[in-house]
């Protein structure tokens, strides 16, 4: 199987930068556990779809061979800095760009110095690949791509992995419910902004645990129609496409609130 691991991680920086907060410490520990599961799958490369890398005109793919820098989140700058070092699997990125033409999606490579790498990608890098031992391909969240097109995009990643013979891990970075507190809160008392959000998140996670791909699609659509979610949960669509919906269940390593939103670290069983 070319996709040897599939992981869901939240993209907010709180578990990385403030793990001493008990609610966020749980998510940090869960994300680290997902990282251990990823390492056990022995991937050659990571393929990251982050809801926070926003594109408008085309599907963008990171193609710069190496990137170093210090990132400050545009919303949570008071939490601190995110230093990073990323190596890109440029051959895999080029193959993905070529592959999207087959499903009618225009793609472009991104290759310039000091590109503003998004927080979600860096959070995934921190927990899954902090030493940059594995090369990465990261791709954007195009605002004009709906769930179905995003799932097809994940299918391209799967097809490219099959053709290249690489062992690829697919990473979907994003939250669940996205109703966030608009006023400062005491982080030690972080909780879900609405009780109904917690129930909806848990229902979605139970679909993953049961290996119910169609149920994940239905529950995701219901949530996106009824409440604020992280860009319609398109990072989950990407994972379903990348795995072909062929997962037997999932381990929810941890789940909880981050500033009122829903966050979970999940390992799909392929």
**Chain centroid, CA 28 distance in Å:** 15
For residue 235, being part of any structural domain is answered with yes
**Per the domain annotation, does 104 fall within a domain?**
yes
* In the block, residue with structure tokens 């994003």: 174
For tokens 């008392």, what's the residue? 189
> Is residue 145 assigned to a domain?
yes
What is residue 131's three-state secondary structure?
coil
Residue 7 lies in a domain: no
Q: Which residues contact 142 (CB under 8 A, 6 or more apart)?
A: 55, 56, 58, 59, 60
pLDDT along the chain (270 residues), means of 10: 94 97 95 97 98 96 97 96 97 96 95 96 97 97 97 96 95 97 93 96 98 97 97 98 95 98 98
Structural domain contains residue 15: no
Domain that holds residue 102: 21-184+201-269
Is residue 26 in a domain? yes
Residue 1, pLDDT score: 74
What's residue 23's pLDDT?
87
Considering its fold, how many domains does the chain have in total? 1
Identify the CATH number of the domain in which residue 81 sits: 3.40.830.10
Give the distance from CA 171 to its chain's centroid. Answer: 5
Q: Report yes or no on 252 lying in a domain.
A: yes
Question: pLDDT value at position 233?
Answer: 98
Q: What is the number of H-type helices and E-type strands within the chain?
A: 8, 10
Is 138 within a domain? yes
pTM: 0.97
């Amino acid at each position: 199987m070319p996709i040897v691991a599939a992981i869901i991680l939240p993209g907010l920086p709180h578990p990385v930068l403030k793990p001493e907060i008990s609610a966020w410490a749980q998510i940090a520990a869960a994300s680290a556990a997902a990282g251990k599961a990823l390492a056990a799958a022995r991937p050659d490369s990571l393929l990251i779809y982050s809801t926070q890398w926003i594109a408008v005109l085309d599907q963008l793919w990171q193609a710069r061979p190496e990137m170093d820098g210090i990132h400050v989140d545009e919303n949570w700058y008071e939490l601190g800095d995110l230093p990073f070092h990323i190596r890109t699997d440029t051959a895999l990125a080029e193959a993905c760009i070529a592959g999207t033409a087959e499903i009618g999606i225009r793609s472009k490579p991104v290759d310039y110095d000091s590109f503003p790498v998004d927080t979600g990608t860096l959070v995934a890098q921190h927990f899954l690949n902090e030493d940059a031992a594995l090369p990465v391909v990261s791709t954007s969240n195009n605002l004009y791509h709906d769930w179905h097109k995003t799932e097809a995009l994940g299918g391209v990643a799967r097809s490219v992995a099959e053709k290249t013979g690489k062992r690829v891990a697919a990473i979907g970075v994003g939250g669940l419910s996205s109703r966030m507190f608009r006023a400062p809160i005491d982080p030690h008392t972080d909780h879900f902004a609405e009780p109904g959000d917690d129930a909806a998140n848990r229902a979605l996670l139970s679909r993953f645990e049961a290996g119910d791909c169609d149920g994940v699609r239905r529950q995701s659509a219901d949530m996106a129609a009824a409440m604020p979610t992280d860009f319609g949960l398109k990072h989950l669509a990407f994972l379903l496409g990348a795995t072909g919906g062929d997962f037997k269940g999932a381990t929810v390593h941890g789940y909880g609130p981050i500033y009122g939103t829903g966050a979970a670290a999940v390992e799909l069983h392929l």
